[in-house]
Chain A
Amino acid sequence: MPDRKPQTGDYVEIHLSKLIYLGILLEVPGNEKGVVLLKLDSGYNVGFNRKDILKIKFLRKIKSDEKNFEIKKSSEKPNIAMIITGGTIASRYDSRTGGVKPLTKPEELFKYYPELFELVNVSKIEIPFMKASEDMDFKDWQKIARIASGFLNDGNIKGIIITHGTDFLHYTSAALSFFLKNLSKPVVLTYSQRSSDRASSDANLNLRCAALAAISDIAEVMIVGHATTNDDYCYAMPGTKTRKMHSSARDAFKTINGKPFAKIYGDRIEIISHHKKREKGKTKIDSKFEPRIALIKIYPGQNPDLLDFYSKKKYKGLVLECSGLGHVPSSGKKSWLKKIKEIQKKGIVVCITSQTIFGRVDPFVYSNARELFESGAIYLEDMLAETAFVKLGWILARTKNREEVKKLMLTNFAGELNEKLEFQEI
């Protein structure tokens, strides 16, 4: 095949005006179209500007040497099911082309994370989509919930693990907490912050601990991941009370205004706080969602006119991430009070949370908050803004009645509200 047009993964000769380089032609990142990348025999990758290349000569094809892996099952181990949705934990480096690819087959999971399979049989795996978590929306939550309820109602399956990108993982965990009713088995979401190609990847401990959580008696939606920077134990954290608190660290997820359910070592679980116990019974799904909602962060000097946009676009509810105890700019021309009253009259539900993340909102300490509260804004206690956003969409899909919405938003469905805040070091 001497005249074959060279493709990524082929062994080629690159001719420059004075030099010739040999190596494997690699995939080029999307933003580098003017570049040709080559893996030299030494293993190093180097690049050339396309305009400097006289020709690229095809020499031979490189055979893919990927081996097939089979998932081994054993009858003694408990069965779990997995839902793979994308993110770092489900991507792999493709050495032939030099690109990062999502896992395509369940078998690949075994290849990359053999430790997971020491504890459990992964008897069912579904891959509904492969998305970075920042690309997901409520429809994806609904899809995951549908698959999860199917697995949960399968008598052979003890629990499920959902692997997920980290960025918006806590939205999905909140959504599943509300969508899955009468939960009787563990639903464990886990992730990785360091990719699987690294010997230092956090995925192994996270998956191992997720497996232990999935066969435990904790019948809750929970996020399982590194508790500290060390590879010694994970926390199982409530789906509605957990938030990504670090952009890159292994222990990015922290329980806010609450406690983890348990501390999980690679081989045992230590229970920390109250949780629902595993029980018999069917899990139902209630995943209707009102998408015309928004989460808005308040900042100094912000113009309240932006609320006109939501009103014009017929939004049904807003969660405001306010300052401190639940305040908005309230004096002078930029006062938000008038506008908030106005949009509520037009039927938009306004919920109040705090951008301090930790702590509870309170409308009675300062008069401006009192005015806001009296106008009908719903102060959501210690609920996380992200959880509030998800819950508001879920509630508004059931009722648009203002009083009803207020009552339901302040009803504890899935641990999202906590009457008692214990001392917590930040």
Chain B
Amino acid sequence: MPEINYDKVGLKVGLEIHQQLDTKKLFCSCPSMLRQDNPDFTIHRKLHAVAGETGEIDPAVMHQVSLKKEFVYEGYKTTCLVEIDEEPPHPVNNEALKIVLQISILLNAKIFPITQIMRKTVIDGSNTSGFQRTVLIARDGFIQTSHGKVGIESICLEEDSARIIGATENEVFYRLDRLGIPLIEIATAPDIKNPEQAKEVALQIGKILRSCNVRRGLGTIRQDVNVSIKKGARVEIKGVQKPELIEKAVEKEAERQFQIISMEGKVDSEVRKVLLNGETEFLRPMPGNARMYPETDLPLLKISRDMINEVKKDLPKLIGESEEELRKLELNQEMIKLLFSENKVEEFKELLAVLNNPKLIAKILLVFPREIASRETIPMEKIEKLLDASALLFVIKSLKEKKIKESEVKHVLEKIANGESPRSAIKIEKEDLNNLEEKIHKIIREKPGLSENAYMGLVMKELKGKISGKEAMEIIKKYVK
């Protein structure tokens, strides 16, 4: 299969990221905690047809559903009446709202001063109420990537659904522990143009999320990827957990649509499930727009200037990076691009905060490891593992504290890449300059008649890491006429 030219096929990708927030539940004060122990009680409910107006659920279909299925909800002593749809929702969790405001600001989005909590009709029983509560907080944000700007279409705060535990012919079992956990939903515009950029966007948004108070661990983040190419159709890929898999899945989906089109076929707009190798399989047809109407049990949600200013005061650091900022540090375009594509912007800023030498830090992150890999023939993965964030931080700190010289940094990294501990790697045998001068003189005497630069090469090979190029050249100049 020849490589697809993504520009030519008009690849368009958008991401939808759901991340659980680390607070109590969104509309009650129950703990956001998944449980493995046996439930303390179960309740039995049915859902019924919701009145049909245009664009809503077909009552006939819904009625069928309601006749057949009974929903069994498993609760615990920590479960409250709000969760079992027996009490109106409490006001939205303020902490969760603040986290979403933080993230909205970091994603450069415009926050609505007034917004309304909505009910999105859900018919599969995963919400005891028959709908999911969701509220649009901000719109029209963006992030910068090495391939250009990507729009953030919307940022919503919503409640998670109940977790499906099992099903029989007539019953579906849901556990209430997950129901109501606050989620942020971030939807990008379909501005992403290639698989690599999709991964970059996921990584960047992931970083921003993790800099705020979000839940960690398996299942706390869920990502859906929308993919289409020219003459293809929008296909939603569900449940992609890792950014690497996003890249793969986009690649494979673009390929799949391309193949169908080149065989004169038609791509169906549908929902597909991702497999471990990035391939996808059919899950269900694309659903229509869900019916959405206001949560009439809660007042309008007002987000005041004061609240936004308060949130702005404790924005997490290191984020909000943009090309602009990097350019101000006089890094060249090549370096900036590499920082983004290798996903090293955050690390770059961390190190820069310790030592204000952007060019050296960029080299340490981007150039030296490659050079060392090729010269010492060590695989890149091994080098990345050895030259990890803490090792680099240690080296930079040593430089700042003048334990090593700038000219020695590469040599120190080399030693670490060869398995030496950072602590011992910075201990360079210090020969005094006189000694070194004698050695250089000896090199020149042994091979007379070469150019200054040729001697420089020989000297640096022999005395690698013990003397800076500048110092060496000064000595060479003394002896070469």
Contact = CB atoms under 8 A, between A and B. Distances in A.
Contacts of B469: none
B48 A201 contact: yes
Given A40-B136, A248-B81, A248-B87, 13 more contacts: A35-B300, A43-B120, A44-B116, A46-B114, A47-B114, A49-B113, A52-B113, A65-B54, A92-B51, A93-B294, A93-B296, A199-B66, A200-B128
A359 interface: no
Contact of B48 (A40, A42, A115): A115
B44 interface: yes
B116 A45 contact: yes
Chain B: interface residue count, which band? 35 or more
Interface stretch (A127-135, A189-197, A389-397): A189-197
Nearest to B290: A43
Contacts of B446: none
Contacts of A115: 48
7 contacts: A43-B120, A95-B293, A197-B51, A199-B62, A199-B121, A229-B84, A248-B81
Contacts of B43: 229-230
A166 interface: no
A95 B118 CA distance: 12
B49 interface: yes
Taking chain A's interface residues, is the majority helix, strand, or loop, or is none over half, making it mixed? loop
Given A45-B118, A52-B113, A229-B84, A200 B293 contact: no
The winner among A32, A47, A48 for most chain B CB atoms within 10 A is A47
A281 interface: no
Contacts of A426: none
Nearest to A251: B86
A37 interface: yes
Interface string B60-99: 0011001000100000000001001111100000000000
Contact of A230 (B45, B87, B115, B291): B45
A48 B81 contact: no
A46 B131 contact: no
Contacts of A45: 115-116, 118, 294
B47 interface: yes
A129 B42 CA distance: 40
A199 B112 contact: no
B343 interface: no
B148 interface: no
A195 B86 CA distance: 12
Interface string B108-126: 0010111110111111000
Nearest to B62: A199
B154 A42 contact: yes
Contact of B47 (A93, A114, A199): A199
A43 B129 contact: no
B419 interface: no
A348 B59 CA distance: 57
A125 interface: no
Contact of B86 (A29, A204, A248): A248
A273 to B, nearest CB: 25
Sorted from nearest, which 4 A-B pairs have the closest CB atoms?
A199-B130, A47-B114, A43-B292, A44-B136
B46 interface: yes
B51 A37 contact: no
A42 B136 contact: yes
A67 B131 CA distance: 23
A47 B86 contact: no
Contacts of A19: 110
Interface in A69-106: 92-93, 95, 98, 100
Given A98-B294, A114-B59, A198-B129, A65 B121 contact: no
B289 interface: yes
A404 interface: no
B50 interface: yes
Chain A: interface residue count, which band? 35 or more
Taking chain B's interface residues, is the majority helix, strand, or loop, or is none over half, making it mixed? loop
A112 interface: yes
Contact of A199 (B110, B116, B123): B123
A22 interface: no
Interface in B29-56: 43-54
Interface in B142-193: 154, 156
A65 B53 CA distance: 7
Contacts of A194: 85, 129
Given A65-B54, A66-B53, A230-B43, A44 B292 contact: yes
Contact of A231 (B46, B292, B293): B46
The winner among A92, A112, A199, A205 for most chain B CB atoms within 10 A is A199
Contacts of A285: none
Contacts of A201: 48, 130
Given A19-B110, A114-B63, A199-B62, A43 B118 contact: yes
Contacts of B110: 19
Contacts of A47: 112-116, 300
A197 B50 contact: yes
A112 B51 contact: yes
A114 B50 CA distance: 10
Nearest to A91: B296
Contacts of A200: 45, 47, 85, 128-130
Interface in B9-37: none
Contacts of A42: 136, 154
Contacts of A46: 112, 114-116, 136
B173 to A, nearest CB: 14
B63 to A, nearest CB: 7
Contacts of B292: 43-44
A35 B293 contact: no
Interface in A195-235: 195-201, 204-205, 229-232
Nearest to A111: B51
Nearest to B153: A42
Contact of A250 (B52, B86, B116, B289): B86
Contacts of B120: 43
Nearest to A195: B296
A44 B114 CA distance: 12
Contacts of A229: 43, 84, 86
A40 B116 CA distance: 11
A298 interface: no
The winner among A44, A48, A195 for most chain B CB atoms within 10 A is A44
Nearest to B63: A114
A66 to B, nearest CB: 6
Contact of A196 (B46, B51, B54, B119): B51
A68 B361 CA distance: 71
Nearest to B124: A199
Contacts of A65: 53-54
A249 B49 CA distance: 21
Nearest to B115: A46
